[in-house]
Amino acid sequence: MTVLQGQVVCTESYGSRKTHHYKSLPDGRLSCVLDTPEGGGYRSIRDFFTAVFLPQGYPESVSPDYLAYQIWDTVQAFASSITGTLATQAVLKGVGVGDETSTVTAATVTWILKDGTGMLGRIVFAWSKGSKLDCDAKQWRLFADVLNDVAILMEILAPAFPAFFTLIVCISGFFKCIVGVAGGATRAALTMHQARRDNMADVSAKDGSQETLVNLAGLLFSLLLIPLVADNLCLTYSLYGFFTILHLYANYRAVRAVCMETLNRARLSLVFQHFLEAIEIPGPDIINPQEPLLPGFRHQLKITLGAPLHSVTSNVAEFQKALEGNSTNYLIFFNQAAGTVFVLLHRQARSVDVIKACSHALLLEVLLSRDVALDVIVKKKSLLAVQKQLREGSKNNGCSVISETHRVLDMIFPKFLAGLTEAGWVTERNLLGPEEWRVDWTIAGKKTF
């Protein structure tokens, strides 16, 4: 192939940020020309900071919400660094730094008790809530930051109550260790969401670099701030109030910027209700801003996914009746009086089966609490009759309710599932948080020898 002199032989790119053009020279060598707009010096500095503080391949290697989240996360980290400095100064003053009457032993005992209480808090919280942190990462991230501000406030106020100083700082240490567990776990969940090229380690490492830079800036600012607040409680409280408000606002904006494509219960509930009312599936960019960020998202029913059989029934006849006509990989046990729905998952249940089972429970919740045009969607008067019975609280046959809602869900779920995929939701995995219990009820039909 003959190549003319000065002709572009090929081009190469580094993500979307750099483009090289290779041209042929008279002596046969290749000349590399960087496609650089005006202001090359600024671009060089920007590229340096991009390489140091952003994941390789940015922005293609991360989720679209990465930059907005990181900006607000940087603001909240700076504010937290300042309030943390104020708290450290208060604690050091409380343990006796600068006080000639205090002893090293008393200060050491206080510090040991503070750290020991925090360690216990870390273990207890991880045991009780660790499995739920993935499901509601946004809520727990915001919860962790609010609790962190409460702990810092306690430390700032502790010197004003010398008789209870040790107790206050121990409780604060307990809270801060809970913050460490919740914040670290949710940060890992958000990192998994942001990493789009199996680059979790790189995203996490660059996030650490960003946080270190912010903490360094906070440290330098604190060096200027400490002499001003050393003996001025009014200024200390004023600065704490200002930076705490900034911290909470930045955290709210940060978690609101996150747009997750996996379904947890809150997002599935919003999507499913919208589907029943409008026969369309809204995308993650529409549902995520509507997701509640405060714990205690109200549900009409308490739904337990992956419940053990012994928590539902100990009656063979009742279990066999639940199996009659069932062709799904889950079983529903509904107790309207107790306001509970227990879902037994089959050993072979996949993510789609879990989504369908949770949708079934949500359908029961919708029948109890909302006026939706179900007759328009499914054209079944029998379901409207079930809805009327449920709302009137009549003594209906639980099995007939489950049977009828099974038939309805079998009709609408294929369209619902296809709509989820088309709208950009991930169905191969979910954040619905099922328990680990799995039942194999097909064994009843096997012969034993």
**Domain end (from 217, 240, 257):** 257
What's the confidence (pLDDT) of residue 114? Answer: 81
Q: What is the pLDDT of residues 142-189, one digit of tens each?
A: 999 999 999 999 989 888 888 888 899 899 999 999 999 999 889 988
> Are residues 344 and 276 part of one domain?
yes
- Split at pLDDT 50, 70, 90, the class of 447 is very low
Cβ pair 21, 8 in contact under 8 A = yes
> Are residues 241 and 174 part of one domain?
yes
* Residue 2 pLDDT exceeds 60: no
Structure tokens at 449: 């020898």
Could you give the CA distance from residue 226 to residue 86 in angstroms, rounded to a whole number? Answer: 8
Mean pLDDT of 3-12: 72
> Are residues 216 and 294 part of one domain?
no
> Are residues 240 and 91 part of one domain?
yes
> Are residues 197 and 113 part of one domain?
yes
Tally of structural domains, the chain:
3
Residue 427 counted as domain residue:
yes
Mean pLDDT of 264-277: 91
Residue 449 counted as domain residue:
no
> Are residues 151 and 207 part of one domain?
yes
> Are residues 269 and 226 part of one domain?
no
Which residues make Cβ contacts (< 8 Å) with residue 47, sequence separation at least 6? 17, 18
> Are residues 245 and 161 part of one domain?
yes
What's the confidence (pLDDT) of residue 348? Answer: 92
SS3 (DSSP) at 85: helix
**The Cα angle at residue 304 between residues 301 and 307, in degrees rounded to 5:** 145
> Are residues 233 and 316 part of one domain?
no
Q: What is the pLDDT of residues 87-107, one digit of tens each?
A: 888 887 766 554 555 566 766
Whole-model pTM over 0.75:
yes
Helices and strands in the chain: count of H runs, count of E runs: 14, 6
Mean pLDDT of 304-313: 91
> Are residues 270 and 242 part of one domain?
no
Residue 374 counted as domain residue:
yes
> Are residues 312 and 248 part of one domain?
no
Residue 144 counted as domain residue:
yes
* Strand order across the 340-345 sheet: 302-305, 340-345, 330-335
Residue 448 counted as domain residue:
no
Q: What is the pLDDT of residues 335-380, one digit of tens each?
A: 888 888 999 999 999 999 999 999 999 988 888 775 555 544 555 5
* Residue 40 pLDDT exceeds 50: no
> Are residues 299 and 154 part of one domain?
no
Residue 2 counted as domain residue:
no
Could you tell me the sign of the dihedral formed by the alpha carbons of 155, 157, 159, 164, in that order? negative
Of residues 226 and 177, the one with the higher pLDDT is 177
pLDDT mean across residues, the chain:
84
Query: In this structure, how many other beta carbons lie within 10 angstroms of the beta carbon of residue 33?
Result: 12
Domain hosting residue 45, numbered range: 8-53
Could you tell me the sign of the dihedral formed by the alpha carbons of 305, 262, 143, 362, in that order? negative
What's the confidence (pLDDT) of residue 33? Answer: 76
Residue 335 counted as domain residue:
yes
Could you give the CA distance from residue 439 to residue 347 in angstroms, rounded to a whole number? Answer: 5
We report the CATH number of the domain holding residue 246 as 1.20.1250.20
**Domain end (from 208, 228, 257):** 257
Strands 8-14 and 330-335: unpaired
What's the confidence (pLDDT) of residue 304? Answer: 92
